[in-house]
Amino acid sequence: MHGEKPEAVFLTGQVYEAEGENRLAKKYYERSLELSKQFYVLEDKYQVFYRLAQLYLAEKRYKEYESILMEMLRDHPESRSDRFEKFRTSLVKSVTTDGLNVTLQLYRLKNDFATRANRELGIFYCRTRRSDKAILHLTLAQVAILSTLIEEMKFIDPGYQYKDLKELLTLAMARPYLKGFLNESGAWEGFYYLASSLYLHGVIDQAKLLWELPFQFAEGEMKARSQRQLQKPQPEPFIGF
């Protein structure tokens, strides 16, 4: 009745994906991206990027998976600023030299559509043994998530000042909605793989400090995997492509 609408095209792709028709799903996802300027909410196009990325990952089309996540990050306004490269270098140096605790005292980032892309890329780079890239993207994701948490704590208590990561997580886990935010944001997975990336990079003490966080605060798989790494650390299973 209304011609091609990117929202309807995208949802049609989701129907095909649910039916296992991945080839048709990709066709509709790609078409919805061609119409992306017509999305009623422009940011909705990133849902399409993530759906395509997950299809590529499931099919082990790793180059396409990496490429579409990178395309999303290039769309981020911050990535086009002159100071971004210098900031990235400083961020990696901070987390590898002084740890995430100190890094959070120095930097804050906005938690937006790029956070998940950074986390997924970081995990991918960790699994393909590219520790420098993994550390960068996972740190970007974790700092964004934790910045949101710190701002929320300041809203609750205007006198709150961030000092320590364990203290922040202890306060957050005592509040159900913040606990839910941490569980749903991918924070525990981010901590785990950032620790694994630091271990791969030879920064073993900082890796153990970060594995302790999901072991202490998380539940389920991330808790169990962190416990195993604390007992007997080893690199993540390698993805070859």
Classify each residue of 91-107 as buried b or exposed e, where b means 16 or more C-beta atoms within 10 Å of its C-beta: bbebbbeebbbebbeeb
Mean pLDDT of the chain: 93
Residue 222 has pLDDT above 90, yes or no: yes
Residue 83 has pLDDT above 90, yes or no: no
Residue 80 has pLDDT above 70, yes or no: no
SS3 assignment, position 175: coil
For 82-93, what is the mean pLDDT?
85
pLDDT-derived band at 36 (thresholds 50, 70, 90) equals confident
Give 144-147's long-range contacts (Cβ < 8 A, gap of 24+): 144/109, 144/110, 144/111, 144/112, 144/114, 144/115, 144/118, 145/111, 145/115, 145/182, 145/185, 145/186, 145/187, 145/190, 146/104, 146/187, 147/104, 147/108, 147/109, 147/110, 147/111
Residue 77 has pLDDT above 90, yes or no: no
Distances (CA, A) of 119 to 64, 97, 206, 233: 17, 21, 18, 21
pLDDT-derived band at 87 (thresholds 50, 70, 90) equals confident
pLDDT tens-digit profile of 104-131?
999 999 999 999 999 999 999 999 999 9
Q: In the structure encoding, which two tokens stand for residue 46, read together?
A: 């990133």
Q: Rounded distance, CA 6 to CA 152, Å?
A: 34
Q: Rounded distance, CA 179 to CA 158, Å?
A: 20
Q: In the structure encoding, which two tokens stand for residue 89, read together?
A: 């270098």
pTM here? Answer: 0.91
